[in-house]
Structure 1
Amino acid sequence: MLSYDPTPAFAAAQDAADPLAHFRHEFLFPKGSDGQPVAYFCGNSLGLLPKAARAAAEQEFKAWEERAVEGHFTGDQPWMTYHEALAGATARVVGAQPDEVVVMNTLTVNLHLLLVTFYRPTAARYKVLMEAGAFPSDQYALESQARLHNLDPTAVIVEIAPRAGEHTLRTADIEAKIAELGDSLATVLFGGINYYTGQVFDMQAITRAGHAVGATVGFDLAHAAGNVPLHLHDWDVDFACWCNYKYLNAGPGGSSGIFVHERFANRPDLVRLAGWWGHDQAQRFQMKKGFQPMSGAAGWQLSNGQILTLAVYRASVALFDQAGGMRALRAKSEQLTGYLEFLIGQLHLPTSRLEIITPADPAQRGCQLSLLVHERGRELFDYLAAQGVVADWREPNVIRLAPVPLYNSFEDVYRAGAALQEFYNQQ
């Protein structure tokens, strides 16, 4: 384990020894009021712009200009099969087989499409289990899905909250709740990482418990994809979806990703919302009635890919392979987040003033620490911003700091720690 030191010399030495340090130069940083690049800790909301993104999009603009409609069928990467070129890198990020993933649409659209298939309530089995305090989009999606089946959301949705006095959920409590719901449980839907606390859930254990009672199990991986190693195929997860604009740096509103386990790859009997682009590619242009889904996750596509946003994603996700994949990024992530935790500990503040509500165990967190600020929280957030430290504010009093291993440095983390120290020294 790395032994930390609260000095700028230590941070500089760690950056000099970091084999991933040069990836920082593959991104563009906003400038602060002093004209210098900010220390950006908001990749859990929107990742930075990869330098390669413009050229990738421009390549498709050029194809559009020069070939117009023929761009669907000609060129280095025809648009007709563009999604296929993304499958390998995407699969490596989330621990899947290439035919289990596809990049399409946006996150909540994809969640709805998957719930149409994987939430099939009956008179006896109709409940859904989710974590209390999940991101509102997931709550809204489940409410509306329940109503689509003429069910009362308050009778359908079961939320599990942390124990009194605790900020995060215990895996044993989740497993116990699944067992308690038993034959009434249709679907389990959790975030892979809770956006507010930064807790990584034990997705393998949750999946195992859900399957033991006959439920389908899926995850919203908005805060997990590109952040922590995932093994969706091996964990036997049924379905998952995620956005690509946070840790995967595909730009605001960039296309989302889905995972559907290969056991469902060739199941035309599954209920789904169908579209032309999900129809068997060999027969697509015959324009016949009768939907025949493509094999794998691609069979959940509705429409042709949004090529300009897919091009940006392609440029970004390529960096993950160049960096050595999620294992290498995770190793640096644990060091960066651990350093931030260490520097916050050097403030020696009582938890009645400042409290880290993200788990201390690195296995239960990604590259995010959520600070519960009991006094003058918004003032602290504004002070950090004035010092060129870009964080994220969540009501009522949480500041989230996410040191992303692809582009954050130890000096960035030191800068955040120094700004926190300066603020509290003024008290």
Structure 2
Amino acid sequence: MTYENSLQFARSQDHNDSLQTFRERFYIPQVNGKDAIYLCGNSLGLQPKSVRAALEQELLDWQNLGVEGHFQGKNPWFRYHELFSEKEARIVGAQPAEVIVMNNLTTNLHLLLVSFYQPTPERYRIITEAGAFPSDQYALETQVKFHGFHPEEAILELKPRPGECNLRTADIEAAIAENAHSVALILMGGLNYYTGQVFDLAAITKAGHAAGALVGFDLAHAAGNVLLSLHEWEVDFAVWCTYKYLNSGPGGVGAAFVHEKHAHNPDLPRFAGWWGHNPEERFQMKKGFKPMAGAAGWQLSNGAILTMAAHKAALDIFDEAGMPALRAKSEQLTGYLEFLIQEMGLSATQLQIITPAEPTARGCQLSLLVHQNGRALFEKLTAAGVILDWREPNVIRVAPVPLYNSFEDVFCFAEILRKSWTELEQASTKGLVAPANTSDQSS
């Protein structure tokens, strides 16, 4: 696509957008009585208008049926998790039996590490990316300690080359091969939350298996954002949340994937609960855990129906739009955002996009490394009605989401960014703003 820096161009793209009507199915936050420019779906997706009715349906069944809602409700709670199997599987490229909606992301990560991190004195290392989201860091640190190893020795964090912001796939593969004798698990984010880099999951999985290791991914920022084929790539396991790109509400329910080569193995170590037990025998209340087939066998307790109802409403919209169409629009929106930022003519010592330029290596997020007055710039953008997020020490993350963001959103953001930047430069020249310290985040 050939982009143009004009409001007319942005509106023409929106007019021709086959997904344009989906925006009307979400509530847009208001700032000063106007729709905000919401570019923070990478942190929390917007509320679908259908969520309220979905919640009210379950509240009515609870009100009118009480405990009988488990079997007589419109969506019986006893098998509520089954409502997600096919649609959730399409999001991540899995077989329906390989996915389960349950708990939250970090709980699911710990549960699957019980099964897939089984270190020995010879094979005990975990390979991950440096700067992973803190929950992943804490989960790995405590799992390693639980098994009697020291995190400094057992966890190998991969960093970009000096002067670079992103990991090279070849360097990841080389690190796995070099540690083939000691690595037990590769656990990485599908998309790095800070830089926005999408990792080559197929290549990493292949390299991990060649080294004799198991491979898992945290897809918090990848699920619903980029195209995934977990089954085909033979990823061993994955976890994700549903409140970012999947729009299922703050603290919403999590989900997990277990490849069928493992999901039907009842002898695989796991922590068990009664909701993962054979449903035909669940109410016999007998000893002896018999896991359900597939990923469902990792369930612990009965589902949190109200948060799952919100996810069901959001997932119905997502599935209607379809990942291929959403991904195609996402690439165009993100490309337009990149084009407009480059049109500002700023040098890399002023503002640097640290997210990869290749569309296949990024989702809909661009991370802007602001070398001077970054916090002041962020606050100006916020005051102007733009909702995005700040990551210390000096990164602004901008995420145009294809379900509800428009080309006009992106154009207007760029205009506000340009105006705010100019005003800060003028203020700095007059000594009204003290320049912030430059911080190099390339390593």
Shorter-chain TM-score category?
Answer: over 0.9
Partner of 1:370: 367
Cα distance in 2 for residues equivalent to 1:61 and 1:77: 12
Alignment deviations for residues 30-54 of structure 1 (CA, whole Å, 9 cap, x no partner) = 1012x00101000011000000001
Cα distance in 2 for residues equivalent to 1:106 and 1:157: 24
Partner of 2:10: 11
Letter of the 2:11 counterpart: A
Instruction: Kindly report which structure 2 residues correspond to 1:236-247, keeping only aligned pairs within 5 A, or say none.
Output: 236-247=234-245
Partner of 1:342: 339
SS at match of 2:34: coil
Partner of 2:280: 282
Cα distance in 1 for residues equivalent to 2:11 and 2:382: 22
The CA deviation at 1:421 is 1.0
Cα distance in 2 for residues equivalent to 1:71 and 1:236: 38
Partner of 1:382: 379
Query: Is 1:84 paired with 2:60?
Result: no
The CA deviation at 1:14 is 0.6
Alignment deviations for residues 349-378 of structure 1 (CA, whole Å, 9 cap, x no partner) = 010000000000001000000000001001
The CA deviation at 1:29 is 1.0
Cα distance in 2 for residues equivalent to 1:116 and 1:265: 14
Partner of 1:21: 20
Paired residues, number: 424
5+ residue gaps, structure 2, are 426-443
Alignment deviations for residues 114-170 of structure 1 (CA, whole Å, 9 cap, x no partner) = 000000000100000000000010010001001111111111100000000000000
Cα distance in 2 for residues equivalent to 1:251 and 1:156: 36
The CA deviation at 1:183 is 2.0
Cα distance in 2 for residues equivalent to 1:48 and 1:350: 34
Instruction: Kindly report which structure 2 residues correspond to 1:15-164, keeping only aligned pairs within 5 A, or say none.
Output: 15-33=14-32, 35-164=33-162
The CA deviation at 1:406 is 0.2
Partner of 1:250: 248
Query: Is 1:353 paired with 2:315?
Result: no
Letter of the 2:351 counterpart: L
Cα distance in 1 for residues equivalent to 2:264 and 2:365: 38
Cα distance in 1 for residues equivalent to 2:398 and 2:77: 38
SS at match of 2:137: helix
Cα distance in 2 for residues equivalent to 1:334 and 1:12: 17
The CA deviation at 1:265 is 2.2
Cα distance in 2 for residues equivalent to 1:425 and 1:274: 58
Instruction: Kindly report which structure 2 residues correspond to 1:259-408, keeping only aligned pairs within 5 A, or say none.
Output: 259-323=257-321, 325-408=322-405
Partner of 2:434: none
Give yes or no for contact 1:389–1:415 (8 Å, CA) kept in 2. no
Give yes or no for contact 1:21–1:409 (8 Å, CA) kept in 2. yes
Cα distance in 2 for residues equivalent to 1:409 and 1:387: 18
Cα distance in 1 for residues equivalent to 2:263 and 2:26: 37
Cα distance in 2 for residues equivalent to 1:359 and 1:23: 28
SS at match of 2:347: coil
Q: Percent identity at matched positions?
A: 62
The CA deviation at 1:94 is 0.5
Cα distance in 2 for residues equivalent to 1:425 and 1:376: 12
Partner of 2:182: 184
The CA deviation at 1:389 is 1.1
Give yes or no for contact 2:61–2:74 (8 Å, CA) kept in 1. no
The CA deviation at 1:95 is 0.4
Cα distance in 2 for residues equivalent to 1:266 and 1:331: 35
SS at match of 1:4: coil
Residue 171 of structure 2: which of 166, 173, 182 is its match? 173
SS at match of 2:217: strand
The CA deviation at 1:75 is 2.5
Partner of 2:230: 232
The CA deviation at 1:268 is 1.2
5+ residue gaps, structure 1, are none
SS at match of 1:381: helix
SS at match of 1:183: coil
Partner of 1:219: 217
Alignment deviations for residues 55-93 of structure 1 (CA, whole Å, 9 cap, x no partner) = 001100000001010000113310000000111110000
Cα RMSD for the two superposed structures: 0.6
Query: Is 1:193 paired with 2:191?
Result: yes
Residue 417 of structure 1: which of 414, 419, 428 is its match? 414
The CA deviation at 1:420 is 1.0
Cα distance in 2 for residues equivalent to 1:8 and 1:200: 30
